[in-house]
Structure 1
């Protein structure tokens, strides 16, 4: 049966809308990536601190809106105070103390949420969830070859995330975790892992940061796995809070948390690898 003119027009409009959405997604991602890379490569750590502080504050606002929309402002402030305080302590060269400050701040945020009769565990977890990657990446940036380590985290995570999206769209196939993230597929998962490994190998050849190709591939694999895990974890969190997106800050992507969910886990993975190197593990 041939389509009616109305059906044909609807199909064209739907295709055009998807193309426009993808274009907005690409442009907004490129702008965000360019800004982040420029600030990351500056020799002064202070602009990087400012960028992180703004990012953490925005993430805390989104967290407050997700977990307690009726009193989001007060929850966001409590979570942000814990995360940003720890970040500044880490910037001053006290990474262990920053972890203690974050833990204490998370407990305070939880107690404050308890007094407001909302999820105290959600508030405490939000501070740890947002604050932990922030202090890890600040520590990475200030370490020896810190810019390279941070770039590894960024570029591998972005490559894995982009490849997973594109391969999943083009190939399709069985769903990865349909209960919480119905759009993600096993083909996209495999594409993301391969992209992460290839990106790590290419970066290692350019920088000489790792001694062996197999080491770079393993770093890429672990970081890409962390990226995928972070993306899935945030999807589960959004389902728990009953929201589709964490926010509307970035055109085509939703909120900032929707954009950096996988990156947050990738940063922690790279931080763990960096710590192993410092402890004398040969990579």
Structure 2
């Protein structure tokens, strides 16, 4: 790759990233059905890319089964069905998909994709909810994950050093992981203080650290998935970034972790209240 090509790719990556961030923040601020539509779109794109990697083209009947089952769950999400009902619907859809997979002999991975896509969409939508706590929690999540992702990339490029997981993702380094984690913690604390969180700085630090680490594990999981199926990118839907999964792997992992903790503490339908409540 020439220097000019590298600069061009970086510019394309930055422009696409800025456009995506602005669009996502606008939909997050709007909340309601707009954010639920965004969550559903992310879930749908994840399943599409997952099937492209894990399910051969000649398995189109099973592709259709997975798509229809997820579409039902995502439609329920968009119209505002409660989180508990959505989880039950996703569980039922996963069981039906597993039954069909056993009959069609297509293996475990496509069914895992359905569960992964559905949980990603449900976690994001449930966290945002429809109130101030949901907005605050989602902005906190974005700040931690985005700062982690951006600084891990640039610190890793600038500092280099020992590889984090060379057998999974040869480009990632320990310096990038540490730099990204520190950036995620700082960004999370800044946003938490900005929105007026009542919890102490120590809790903000711990939460930011945990979500940053989980987001990087989510990134590694997606890298291992691509390596398993011999894919460089999950798709080419986003210029300079590859696919949707390439952009949201860390986000959906951290969102799921935050959703689980919040659901256990404050209920499935108001997980953000475990972190932000007036």
TM-score (normalizing by structure 1): 0.88
Change (3 A) 1:148 1:78: farther
**Separation in 2, partners of 1:182, 1:263:** 21
| Mean Cα deviation higher: 207-216 or 272-281 | 272-281
Cα distance in 1, alignment partners of residues 59 and 252 from structure 2: 22
Going from structure 1 to structure 2, the CA distance change for 1:282 and 1:58 (only over 3 Å counts) comes to closer
Deviates further, 219-228 or 80-89:
80-89
Cα RMSD of the aligned pairs, angstroms, is 2.1
In structure 2, how many angstroms separate the alpha carbons of the residues matched to 1:72 and 1:250?
26
Structure 2 counterpart SS, 1:182:
strand
Matched, 1:50 2:37: yes
Larger Rg: 1
The aligned residue for residue 108 of structure 1 is 96
Q: Note if 1:127 corresponds to 2:114.
A: yes
Q: Does 1:89 align with 2:76?
A: yes
Work out the CA distance in 2 between the residues paired with 1:236 and 1:153.
24
Between the aligned partners of 2:55 and 2:214, the Cα distance in structure 1 is 28
Question: Where does residue 215 of structure 1 map in the other structure?
Answer: 203
User: Aligned pair 1:231/2:219, yes or no?
Assistant: yes
> Hey, what does 2:270 align to over in structure 1?
none
C-alpha distance in 2, partners of 1:148/1:181? 32
Per-residue CA deviation, residues 64-95 of structure 1 (Å, 9 max, x unaligned), is 11011323654444333333433443453421
Say if 2:39 and 2:122, in contact at 8 Å, map to a contact too: no
- Alignment CA distance shift 1:115-1:281 (3 Å): closer
Over residues 119-158 of structure 1, what are the superposed CA-to-partner deviations in whole Å (9 max), with x where a residue is unaligned?
2x11221111111121122111215411111121122111
| TM-score relative to the length of structure 2 | 0.89
The Cα shift of 1:197 comes to 0.5
Unaligned runs of 5+ in 1: 1-12
- For the residues of structure 1 that align with 2:223 and 2:100, how far apart are their CA atoms? 26
Q: Distance in 2 between matches of 1:266 and 1:259?
A: 13
1:241 corresponding residue in structure 2? 229
Q: Report the CA distance shift for 1:117/1:227 in structure 2 as closer, same or farther (over 3 A).
A: same
Describe the shift of the 1:202–1:178 C-alpha distance in structure 2 as closer, same or farther (beyond 3 A): same
Counterpart in the other structure of 1:186: 174
Residue in 1 aligned with 2:152? Answer: 164
Q: Residue 37 of structure 1 aligns with which residue?
A: 25
User: In the alignment, is the contact (CA less than 8 A) between 1:60 and 1:76 conserved in 2?
Assistant: no
Task: Map Cα deviations across residues 244-271 of structure 1 (whole Å, 9 max, x no partner).
Answer: 1110111111111111111110111221
Candidates 48, 53, 57, aligned match of 1:70:
57
Equivalent residues of 1:196, 1:220 under 8 A apart: yes
| 1:17–1:140 Cα change, 3 Å | same
Q: What secondary structure is seen at the aligned counterpart in 2 of 1:41?
A: helix
Query: The residue matched to 2:2 in structure 1 has which SS?
Result: helix
Question: For the residues of structure 2 that align with 1:166 and 1:155, how far apart are their CA atoms?
Answer: 16
Cα contact 2:39–2:121 (8 A) shared by 1: yes
Q: Which residue does the alignment assign to 1:8?
A: none
